Amino acid sequence: MKRIALLGATGSIGRQAIEVIDAHPELDLVAATSGSTPIDGLAPLTQVGGDPTALLERAEPDVVLNAVVGFAGLVPTMWALERGVTLALANKESLVAAGDLALAAHARGGGGLIPVDSEHSALFQCARLGEPESLVLTASGGPFRGRTSDDLADVTPDEALAHPTWSMGPKVTIDSATLANKGLEVIEAHFLFGVPYDRIEVLIHPPSIVHGLVRYRDGASIAHLGHPDMRVPISYALTYPDRAPTTVPALDLTARPLEFHEPDLETFPMLALAREAGERGGSYPCAYNAANEVAVQQFLDGRIGFLEIAPLVQEVLDRVDGSPARDLADLVEADRRARDLVPVA
């Protein structure tokens, strides 16, 4: 039996994780949390809101699946890494923000760190065949692929929430529309695989079938293909190193062409801003994430327009003190300072 603690159980990833856990008798859900939505009839240990540390200590999980959205996922990420409990990580924001602090905790704890984000799950599987030369992350392009800035001035939250290939929670869906999601994923890949930013490429791939690709020095490239269905990477992370069966059907490669394009960095500046934050290092990625979280919420609340998200994040990156966080308290402070720099709309 593998004891699973699930954080963010009521969300998009959380609900799909419960489906995966229910399908495997050897997976035992021993603890579950959510942010504010009640959790009905799940694990014997459940909690809504608050610090999950005491719950995790009592549950003694073998695997922590962190499916919380946003910087709020920091506590369970650091708890699992520090204690050497296997971390199945959907909450990319915590790794982006904590960066070197998370890697140091991982080194001290010595446990597993298995990405659930589909692109990183793909890269994790493709990167096991040698020393990667470079990585390719794919992006669907979101609902506004092919549009120009002029087209995007008046788009509504509902239009931005209509993702063409993935069904996800609201924050990551808006991030997919701005390409901030791919920006966060470039930083996530840098920390997960130790590859420098100039060797992490992003390609727009509308069908969302090729999730990631690793290039090796002999000219070979290894790609991971599959339907856009998060139950596959969730199942991989929870049953690793076994590859348990799922009900996801086999891929029909004749269904549609697998085309790839360069991203439009002018219309979608959040991708370039993430690279800039990543290259600057220190707590700049934390500031990028914090400013983006605030700006996305303002957009979802109808207080700012879609095109105002990137300039707000740019402004915070220009003004913030991005020196490295020495410890977690420092990091929480860096997150708060970046949030405070976003003007109230």
Q: Which does 274 bind (CB under 5 to 8 A by kind): ligand NAD, Mg ion, none?
A: none
Token pair recorded at residue 53: 């540390």
Bridge partners of 5, per DSSP, are: 31, 64
Binding residues for ligand NAD restricted to 46-75, rule: CB under 6 A: 67-69, 72
- Phi/psi for 295 (5° steps) reads -65, -40
CA neighbours within 13 Å on the CB side: how many for 54? 6
DSSP secondary structure letter of residue 197: G
Pick from 21, 90, 127, 192 the residue near ligand NAD by CB under 6 A: 90
Task: State the nearest-atom distance from the C-beta of 283 to ligand NAD, in Å.
Answer: 19
Binding residues for Mg ion restricted to 78-117, rule: CB under 5 A: 117
Residues written for the chain: 345
Q: In terms of DSSP bridges, do strands 113-115 and 200-204 run parallel, antiparallel, or are they unpaired? A: unpaired
Cα–Cα distances (Å) from 3 to 24, 32, 134, in that order, read 12, 11, 35
Handedness of CA 152, 156, 162, 166 (dihedral sign): positive
Binding residues for Mg ion restricted to 117-146, rule: CB under 5 A: 117-119
* Closer residue to Mg ion (CB): 117 or 264: 117
For the chain, helix, strand, coil in percent to 5 are 45, 15, 40
Looking up tokens 């960066």 gives 99
Q: Which does 67 bind (CB under 5 to 8 A by kind): Mg ion, ligand NAD, none?
A: ligand NAD
Task: State the nearest-atom distance from the C-beta of 176 to ligand NAD, in Å.
Answer: 9
Pick from 43, 64, 152, 168 the residue near ligand NAD by CB under 6 A: 168
Binding residues for ligand NAD restricted to 107-166, rule: CB under 6 A: 117-118, 166
* Closer residue to Mg ion (CB): 111 or 115: 115
Please name which of 257, 163, 263, 266 lies closest in space to residue 204, comparing C-alpha atoms: 263
* Closer residue to ligand NAD (CB): 122 or 215: 122
* Closer residue to Mg ion (CB): 78 or 189: 189
Please name which of 172, 161, 177 lies closest in space to residue 268, comparing C-alpha atoms: 177
E-assigned strand segments in 124-220? 134-139, 200-204, 210-215
E-assigned strand segments in 216-332? 221-225
Task: State the nearest-atom distance from the C-beta of 68 to Mg ion, in Å.
Answer: 16
- Rule CB under 6 A: say whether 37 interacts with ligand NAD: yes
Binding string, 241-260, against ligand NAD, x = CB under 6 A? --------------------
Pick from 47, 77, 91, 176 the residue near ligand NAD by CB under 6 A: 91
**CA separation for the pair 83, 144 (Å, rounded):** 42
Please tell me the count of residues contacting Mg ion according to CB under 5 A.
Answer: 3
Pick from 4, 5, 13, 29 the residue near ligand NAD by CB under 6 A: 13
- Residues in contact with ligand NAD by CB under 6 A are 8-14, 34-37, 67-69, 72, 90-93, 117-118, 166, 168-169, 171-172, 230
Which residues of the chain form contacts with Mg ion (CB under 5 A)? 117-119
